[in-house]
Amino acid sequence: MKPANPHLTLGAGPAVVYYTGLMGVPRGMQSIALNLEPAQFLSGWRAQPGSLFLPALSESRVGEEVAVRIGIYGQTIRATLFGKVALVRRVGRPSLPPGVELALDKASIPAARFLAMAARGESVSFRERAPRFAAERPLSVSLVGKPTFETHTVNLSEGGCSLSWRGELPAIGTLVTLRFGDGIFAPSARAVVCWNALGGSAESTVGVRIVPKGRGARAWKHLVAEVARSGARAA
């Protein structure tokens, strides 16, 4: 299939673009989809800086945002990664093919790590999830024995969200209450901490899963629907 984007051509190697115009990608953002050989992905993946070289040549400029849907030959795993073009190599040679190097968004790095595990032949448990959106929405967090504090989401979906977190990280399994909206009658939802991660400059992130029962869960789904309608970017 020819790429729908006239500014996209293939580089050297067996990478295949099989569609463009990814769902959940903002209008105007360049988007492609690739099937890569395991060795291709691993040779382009740099875990420490969080960058990925793709053997596809783009006419985009350094600094432009790109979304790429990647599959690994021989694996069922697929993931959509977002990043900014850090390097464009228009002419290459066998040991240094033409292509694009992406500086991946922080939220895309875990998915890239899953792809790397799959490319190495490691056993991975990865399934397609409900749409997740990169959006900051203010809310307050309450948990037993701690004062309520204000924070914001990093990304969110119907099933839960990632929260910016300052201070001591909660233990996995901790029950928290999220209140979103204004006023004393603002909706709230209960959630369970399912992961936590230390960050730089004393700011960390915590992932929570919404308890799927009652008014709170319905109010949360309504919030996510509003975020989706706003045109927020997929995460």
In three-state secondary structure terms, 218 is helix
Query: What's this model's pTM, rounded to 2 decimal places?
Result: 0.51
Residue with token string 């709230």: 188
Of residues 11 and 184, the one with the higher pLDDT is 184
Listed ranges 26-40, 121-135, 136-150, 197-211; the one with the highest mean pLDDT: 136-150
Query: Kind of pairing, strands 30-36 and 133-134?
Result: unpaired
* CA distance from start to end of the chain: 27
pLDDT of residue 29: 65
Beta partners for residue 89, in sequence order: 99
**CA atoms within 13 A of residue 150's CA, in its CB half-sphere:** 5
Query: Residue 30: beta bridge partners?
Result: 66
Instruction: Give the CA distances from residue 121 to residues 18, 44, 110, 191, in Å, rounded to whole numbers and listed in that order.
Output: 23, 17, 17, 34
46-104 pLDDT, tens digit per residue, is: 988 899 998 875 666 788 888 888 889 888 777 878 888 998 887 766 667 778 899 99
Highest mean pLDDT: which of 51-65, 121-135, 191-205, 220-234?
220-234
Strands 65-72 and 30-36: what pairing?
parallel
pLDDT of residue 219: 93
CATH 3.40.50.300 fits 8-119, yes or no: no
pLDDT at position 18: 40
* Residue 231 clears pLDDT 70, i.e. is over it: yes
Q: How far is CA 6 from the centre of its chain?
A: 26
Are the CB atoms for 231 and 133 separated by under 8 Å? no
| Tens digits of residue pLDDT in 159-193 | 899 999 888 888 888 889 999 977 778 899 999 88
Q: Where in the chain is CATH 2.40.10.220?
A: 8-119, 133-234
Indicate if the pLDDT at residue 1 is higher than 50.
Answer: no
pLDDT at 6: 33
Q: In this model, does residue 3 exceed pLDDT 70?
A: no
Strand, coil or helix: what is 103?
strand
Instruction: Express each pLDDT in 127-151 by its tens digit.
Output: 555 678 888 999 999 988 888 999 9
What CATH number is given for 133-234 in this structure?
Answer: 2.40.10.220
- The pLDDT assigned to 141 comes to 93
pLDDT at 202 over 60: no
Handedness of CA 62, 112, 54, 60 (dihedral sign): negative
Q: Model confidence at 113, in pLDDT bands (50, 70, 90)?
A: confident
